[in-house]
Structure 1
Amino acid sequence: MQAGALLVTFLRRGGADVELLEDILTSDGRPGEGPGSTTGDSRAISRFVARTGGGLHHVAVRVDDIEAGLDGLRKVGVGLLDDHGCPGSRRSRIAFADRRTTGGLVLHLVQR
């Protein structure tokens, strides 16, 4: 599925989801046509790929209650980029931990 400037593919096996993202800018650097507003996200993905050569970007953990998940991370000293759940893809609520406090891992909470 195309979402703004990203081509997004979801794979599900058992209880695990894998989301593959591909930056799909036009030859003149403009986002491709399509639903969604992911140009900012794709720029982050593009910067990551330019810096690291691609690979694993982040790990998402499904939670029943995103606010409780964020509170749990705060209690154990994990820094947060999001104070509350934000709208995400597929009608989810999402939030990110600060990788400077997770040993470099980008941790992404998802409530569906």
Structure 2
Amino acid sequence: MRFDHAGIATRDAADLAEPFADLLDAPVVHEETFDGMEVVFLELDGGGFLELLEPTEGGAIADYLDREGPGIHHVAFATDDLPGALDRARDLGVDLVDEEPRPGAWGHEVAFLHPRSTGGVLVEFVEK
């Protein structure tokens, strides 16, 4: 596995994209409305992305913002075998949010691991 992105919950993805783009010299490379969110990806030099998540309706990100406020929501790792990665997590006793892969942003398949099994960090596996 390799680092893919850090997901950041925000109330205004476009507004947050500008300072990150300038500060990190990280251009916006993808934007979409997906699953009740505006999603903006900025590409980091050396690999990986920042994913800015702005809710457009109720849902997981809106709930997270109400509960925790803006900030890092999850860390994602890329895999070439998402079902195999989930099997390995199960074998290791990791609690899963998603028992099976599901559609994610940018047309990728994703699955999340429960933070109670990963030191309080919501972990996402991504297969491109």
The two structures have a TM-score, normalised by structure 2, of 0.67
Structure 2 letter corresponding to 1:15? G
Measure, in 2, the Cα distance between the counterparts of 1:83 and 1:45.
20
After superposition, the C-alpha distances for 1:54-75 in whole angstroms (9 at most, x for unaligned) are 1011111111110111112112
Verify: 1:6 aligned to 2:37, yes or no: yes
Provide the aligned C-alpha RMSD in A. Answer: 1.6
Gaps of 5+ in 1: 25-30, 32-41
- 1:22 corresponds in structure 2 to 54
Measure, in 1, the Cα distance between the counterparts of 2:107 and 2:40.
16
The count of residues paired between Structure 1 and Structure 2 equals 96
- 2:12 corresponds in structure 1 to none
Verify: 1:92 aligned to 2:103, yes or no: no
**Between structures 1 and 2, the one with greater strand share:** 2
Q: Alignment partner for residue 49 of structure 1, among 49, 56, 65?
A: 65
After superposition, the C-alpha distances for 1:2-39 in whole angstroms (9 at most, x for unaligned) are 41542211011232111001123xxxxxx5xxxxxxxx
Measure, in 2, the Cα distance between the counterparts of 1:23 and 1:75.
34
The two structures have a TM-score, normalised by structure 1, of 0.76
Shift of 1:43: 1.8
Gaps of 5+ in 2: 1-30
Shift of 1:50: 1.2
Structure 1 letter corresponding to 2:38? L
- 1:68 corresponds in structure 2 to 84
% identical aligned pairs? 38
**Greater RCO structure (CA 8 Å; 6+ sep):** 2
